[in-house]
Structure 1
Amino acid sequence: MILGHETQIQYLKKIFQEGKIPHAFLFCGPEKVGKKQVAFEFCSLILGKKFKTHPDFLLIEGENTIQIDQIRDLISKFSLKPIKSNWQVAILDNAHLMTKEAQQSFLKTLEEPKTNAIFILITAYPSLLLPTILSRCQKINFYPLSNEKILSFLKTVKNLSEEEKEIIAEISAGRPGILFELISDPQKIQTLRFFKKLLELPLYKRFNFVKQIAEKEREKEFLKEATNYFRYLFLAKIKGKEIESFPYSLSKIKEILEAIQYTFFLLLITNVNKRLALEVLMLNL
Structure 2
Amino acid sequence: MILGHKKQWDFLIRMVNNKKIPHALLFSGQERLGKKKVAIEFSRFLLGGEPFSHSDFIFVEPKGNLISISQIRDLIWRLSLKSFSAPFKIALLDKVHLMPADSQNCFLKTLEEPKNSLLILITEHPELLFSTITSRCQTIKFLPVKTEEIKNFLAEKGIEDKKAEKIAKISEGKPGEAIKILNFGKFEENEKQIEDLKKILNSPLHFKFKYAKNLIDEEKLSEVLKNWTFYLRRVFIRKVREKDPFLKKLKDNILLLEKINFLISTKNINKKLALEILMLEL
TM-score over 0.5 for the pair: yes
Question: 5 Å matches for 1:1-285?
Answer: 1-62=1-62, 64-114=65-115, 116-162=116-162, 164-184=163-183, 185=185, 186-190=187-191, 191-216=193-218, 218-235=220-237, 237=239, 249-285=246-282
In 2: Cα distance, 1:68 partner to 1:97 partner: 11
Aligned sequence identity (%): 43
Q: Secondary structure at the match of 2:111?
A: helix
Give the letter aligned to residue 68 of structure 1. I
Q: CA 1:211–1:111 in 2, change beyond 3 Å: closer, same or farther?
A: same
Root-mean-square deviation (CA, aligned residues, Å) is: 2.4
In 2: Cα distance, 1:102 partner to 1:83 partner: 27
User: 8 Å contact 1:144–1:173 — kept in the other structure?
Assistant: yes
Give the letter aligned to residue 175 of structure 1. K
- Identify the range of structure 1 (210-219 vs 257-266) with the bigger mean alpha-carbon deviation: 210-219
Aligned residues: 277
Q: Secondary structure at the match of 2:139?
A: strand
User: 8 Å contact 2:148–2:168 — kept in the other structure?
Assistant: no
In 2: Cα distance, 1:248 partner to 1:267 partner: 31
In 1: Cα distance, 2:92 partner to 2:206 partner: 44
Q: Deviation digits for residues 230-273 of structure 1, max 9, x if unmatched?
A: 23434455677xxxxxx995444322211111112333454431
Q: Secondary structure at the match of 1:55?
A: coil
User: 8 Å contact 1:34–1:176 — kept in the other structure?
Assistant: yes
In 1: Cα distance, 2:266 partner to 2:8 partner: 30
In 2: Cα distance, 1:216 partner to 1:166 partner: 28
TM-score (norm 1): 0.87
User: 8 Å contact 1:170–1:235 — kept in the other structure?
Assistant: no
Q: CA 1:175–1:235 in 2, change beyond 3 Å: closer, same or farther?
A: farther
User: 8 Å contact 1:46–1:87 — kept in the other structure?
Assistant: no
Q: CA 1:218–1:208 in 2, change beyond 3 Å: closer, same or farther?
A: farther
